Structure 1
Amino acid sequence: MFAVYAAELGLPDPLDGLRLGERPAPRPRPGWSRVTVRAAALNHHDLWSLRGVGLSADRLPMILGTDAAGVDEDGNEVVVHPVVGLTGHGLAPGEARSILTEKYQGTFAEQVTVPTANLVPKPPGLSFAEAACLPTAWLTAYRMLFTQARVRPGDSVLVQGSGGGVATAAIALARAAGLRVYATGRDPDRRARALALGATDVLEPGAPLPHPVDAVLETVGAATWSHSIHALRRGGTLVLSGATSGDRPTTTELTRIASHELTVRGSTLATVPELRALLTFLTTTRTHPTLDPTLPLSQAPQGFTRMTEGTHFGKIVFTL
């Protein structure tokens, strides 16, 4: 079957380790289902895999891609949850929990197999490309907002960054939930597009907010850490799910965290029930993911390049 996979890791240009070509079709496995992939979304996780983070050379070649929507063996339209073992299903005794592309072949292929419990029905109101956006970026944003930050309608939230998959998802979800949502972004065009998504205001990085916020969603890391801490009201919550600019800020802001009684929460590995809840939320509020122009899987290198250059807005999706 045709696939996009990592053949080498840790090269000076990580994209030089990317290959397109034929790979063996997945074999049947008890408790697992085979999905014919219709669309698969690109995430920063795929770039980190090419850099050798979370993926070791002894597991090569590894088909990349954690997110997909497609059709199962019974003809059902489904969304794939990418964490194997989070529910306790589909693992052999002693087999560790993992995400697709770390131990198990990923979704950038004509077919993928996952534990049957990882399949969630795709709502008819979402296209395959839209549904493929959800299991990582959108589900991360959903968990950050509603499980970890525990925001409620009328609260205010700051989203650091305005163009990536998690950021655009968080803006749309927060707006649909009745929140006042602020975002930051370096690029004027991205700031304008974030306003069109429903942000209350979009500011340059580090700019003061009109008022302290109830929660901050942090995926940038070191570059925005101090700004995030100072943006919070007394007793507010910062939720951290990534650090694309590095994980070592120049100051940890411990005094501010203590004096303002702030809460810092990590967020990772959202569950299958949360994915079901996200799909219900999107259907009820008629919210749709923002797509960067979609590409056929055969043009995957162009999508990877867009992500490395930071020129995309929303989710990069490959179609089959």
Structure 2
Amino acid sequence: MLAITAARIDKDTPSAGLEVGDRPDPAPGEGWTTVHVRAAALNHHDIWSLRGVGLSQEQLPMVLGSDAAGVDEEGREVIVHSVIGDPNAGVDESYDPKRSLLSEVHNGTLAEKVAVPQRNLVPKPPELSFEEAACLPTAWLTAYRMLFERAGLQPGEALLVQGAGGGVNSALIRMASAAGYRVYVTGRSETKREGAKRLGAYAAFSPGERLPERVSVVFDTVGEATWAHSLRCLRPGGRIVTCGATSGQAPPAELNRVFFLQLSVLGSTMGSRAQLQQLAEYCARSGVRPEIDRVLPLAHAKEGFAAMEQGELFGKVVFTV
């Protein structure tokens, strides 16, 4: 089968370790099944894997990718939940300390076929295309949990999304604006700020720029570069919800501000299978759809990886099989 693999680790030029070629078909074990992939989405996780984060040289070659939608062995249209947890742990798999994502321990979704636990499949609503459904399992699911579970927002409140253009942030902007929140966004370029407004943002600003009001929640996936601004944008009792730290994870904590204003910092990672199904139904019923930057044949995957490395995206890169 055709597959996109991490063949080498290269911290400086991640895509140099990428290979497109034939790999053996998956052989699912007990409790696992095979999905014929129709569409798969690219994530920053795939770039980090090529840099050697969460993936060692000894594990190579590894098929990349954690997001996919396709058809299972019974002919059902399904979405793949990418978190592989212990079925006996008795907890939401995203809380399992031994969890992994597809492409970390088990081969991933950037292939014609992928093997996954049977329990990791959720039905794809017919209202969603395979390309749209493939965007949901990582970035959109992460945003869904951040917004609807972790943030504790009330209808009509104001929020800030730090950064425009990435998969998680695009999902936050679109879902939050559709839900009636007043969404402020920061973006490094006028193009990205205008793109955020097209997604439904109330207003967009340059990084670090003062907002016209203090907000109830800041969604921060950037970390060190935006942390001080995030703290200063919060009203008393406000909250930062974070799912990443792409610019670094060691900003000044500013604890005086945190305790004096009674601020909260909330971590969030991925989401459960049940939430993935809820997200799919939410998109189907609401008409909200993922922002797709480009759709490419799987054989042209290197083009999509290069665009992500260079930051030339607004929304998701999707590969079709």
Report TM bin, short chain: over 0.9
CA contact (8 A) 2:222 2:245 kept: yes
Partner of 2:104: 102
TM-score relative to the length of structure 1? 0.96
1:225 aligns with 2:219: no
For residue 74 of structure 1, report the CA deviation from its aligned partner: 0.5
1:21 aligns with 2:21: yes
Partner of 2:272: 271
Partner of 2:57: 57
1:302 aligns with 2:300: no
Partner of 1:313: 314
Q: Write out per-residue CA displacement over residues 152-195 of structure 1, whole angstroms, 9 at most, x where no aligned residue.
A: 32111100001110111000010111111111001101111110
CA contact (8 A) 1:6 1:18 kept: yes
For residue 244 of structure 1, report the CA deviation from its aligned partner: 1.1
CA contact (8 A) 1:212 1:233 kept: yes
Partner of 2:164: 162
For residue 28 of structure 1, report the CA deviation from its aligned partner: 2.5
Partner of 1:78: 78
CA distance in 1 between counterparts of 2:307 and 2:27 reads 33
CA contact (8 A) 2:6 2:63 kept: yes
Partner of 2:205: 203
Partner of 1:291: 292
Q: Write out per-residue CA displacement over residues 101-133 of structure 1, whole angstroms, 9 at most, x where no aligned residue.
A: 110000000000111111011111111111000
Query: What amino acid is the match of 2:260?
Result: S
CA contact (8 A) 2:32 2:116 kept: yes
Q: Write out per-residue CA displacement over residues 197-255 of structure 1, whole angstroms, 9 at most, x where no aligned residue.
A: 10000111111111111111110111111011111111011011011111122x22211
Query: Partner of 2:37: helix, strand, or coil?
Result: strand
- Structure 1 stretches of 4+ moved >3 Å: 86-89
CA contact (8 A) 1:11 1:17 kept: no
CA contact (8 A) 2:10 2:16 kept: no
Partner of 1:134: 136
Q: Unaligned stretches of 5+ in structure 2?
A: none
CA distance in 1 between counterparts of 2:274 and 2:309 reads 32
Query: Partner of 1:33: helix, strand, or coil?
Result: strand
For residue 13 of structure 1, report the CA deviation from its aligned partner: 1.3
Partner of 2:2: 2
Q: Write out per-residue CA displacement over residues 15-34 of structure 1, whole angstroms, 9 at most, x where no aligned residue.
A: 11110111111002111110
Partner of 2:34: 34
Partner of 2:259: 258
CA contact (8 A) 1:55 1:102 kept: yes
CA distance in 2 between counterparts of 1:283 and 1:12 reads 40
Query: What amino acid is the match of 2:229?
Result: H
Q: Unaligned stretches of 5+ in structure 1?
A: none
Aligned sequence identity (%): 54
Query: Partner of 2:175: helix, strand, or coil?
Result: helix
Query: What amino acid is the match of 2:161?
Result: V
CA contact (8 A) 2:220 2:230 kept: yes
CA distance in 2 between counterparts of 1:259 and 1:28 reads 54
TM-score relative to the length of structure 2? 0.95
Query: What amino acid is the match of 1:227?
Result: H
For residue 87 of structure 1, report the CA deviation from its aligned partner: 5.0
Shift of the 254–239 alpha-carbon distance from structure 1 to 2, 3 Å rule, reads: same
Q: 1:244-255 alignment to 2 at 5 Å?
A: 244-249=246-251, 251-255=252-256
Partner of 1:185: 187
Query: Partner of 1:20: helix, strand, or coil?
Result: strand
CA contact (8 A) 1:220 1:242 kept: yes
Query: What amino acid is the match of 2:271?
Result: A
CA contact (8 A) 1:4 1:18 kept: yes
CA distance in 1 between counterparts of 2:74 and 2:129 reads 19
Partner of 1:46: 46
CA contact (8 A) 1:172 1:197 kept: yes
CA contact (8 A) 2:156 2:182 kept: yes
Query: Partner of 1:73: helix, strand, or coil?
Result: coil
